[in-house]
A = this chain, B = another copy of it.
Amino acid sequence: MHNFLSGVVPPVVTPMTAQGVIDGPSLCRLVDHIITGGAHGLFALGSSSETVFLTREQRKEVLSIIMDHNAGRVPVIAGVIDTTFPKVRELVEDAVALGVDGLVATAPFYVRTHRKEIEEHFRRIHELAPHIPLYAYNIPICVNGVVLDVDMLIELAGEGVLAGVKDSGGVDSYTRSLVEARNDAGITAFSVLTGSETTVDMAYLAGVDGVVPGLGNVDPAAYAKLHELLVAKNFALAAELQTRINHLFRIVFVGDGTRMGGSSAGLGAFKAALKHLGIIDSAAMAPTHQPLNAEEIAAIAQLVDKYGTPR
């Protein structure tokens, strides 16, 4: 049914209390907000979900809430993000038990790795759950700069090991080369999804199938509309909408870089915006994220009111 993943698949952020407890009701409202906004799928336990800040139990809790509340409305793919295969294996077991529609795995990290090792990593994960689509997650900024090799990805696609790629590498010529290599190989069952919020129109022009936008938590309707325009090949209008979205995206640059890192500023902005919109109850992040201050939160609210899709 959900065989080929395409469209808007936001990485669902994880609402939590100031004490770090998962906030289920807020998470349910967020899931509704995203689906009602027109998203085509949900990416649970992604980087924007603070996955690497959640214990194994918490990850299960979050995924369980999302699966239950989604109740089959859209496909749910789940991150199984950890340093190496033996640890990813545990996460795969948990996700499979909860009935996910797809798995998303990065290259091994922390360790110095190699193409052969990455390839075996994906093969072994696939063997654990051969009937569940597996997506490779290209995110060099998080895994010591490792870029997933295009030839390797296409080889694994051809063998049915991989069902797609989520590309958060930030280099659109890479994304395009992936699409071209897939097409040249005559492979159809392989989704290429961009992780870039600000170049979705460009990525679709190059042939990608969908987008995994963190900002899609805040304004899923804008991305759904963007997808619609792009599928209709209405590129000029899409570019105008993209520009409006990019002004909204500036919320992630509001946080003061002398006081916090990019994760605090970015996730903090998504959560502050969602709180401002009344969707989640608290903008708290897991430790040791640094909080935005009142002035920054006000500036974010202003950008949301100005550039967000009216509700």
**Residues of chain A whose beta carbon lies under 8 Å from any beta carbon of chain B:** 20, 47, 52-56, 58, 81, 83-87, 90, 108-114, 116-118, 120-121, 124, 141-145, 170-173, 176-177, 180, 196, 198-199, 201-203, 205-207, 233, 235-236, 239, 243, 246-247, 257, 259-264, 286-290
Contact = CB atoms under 8 A, between A and B. Distances in A.
B54 A239 contact: no
Contact of A84 (B110, B118, B286): B286
Protomer copies:
4
Contacts of A261: 111-114, 116-117
Nearest to A179: B243
A84 B53 contact: yes
Nearest to A109: B110
A287 B83 CA distance: 11
Given A86-B55, A173-B198, A288-B84, A109 B112 contact: no
Given A109-B110, A180-B246, A199-B206, A54 B86 contact: yes
Contacts of A287: 84-86, 120-121, 124
Contacts of A121: 287-288
A206 to B, nearest CB: 6
A84 B81 CA distance: 13
Contacts of A54: 86-87
A53 B180 contact: no
Nearest to A203: B202
Contact of A235 (B118, B235, B246, B259): B235
Contact of A172 (B108, B120, B202, B288): B202
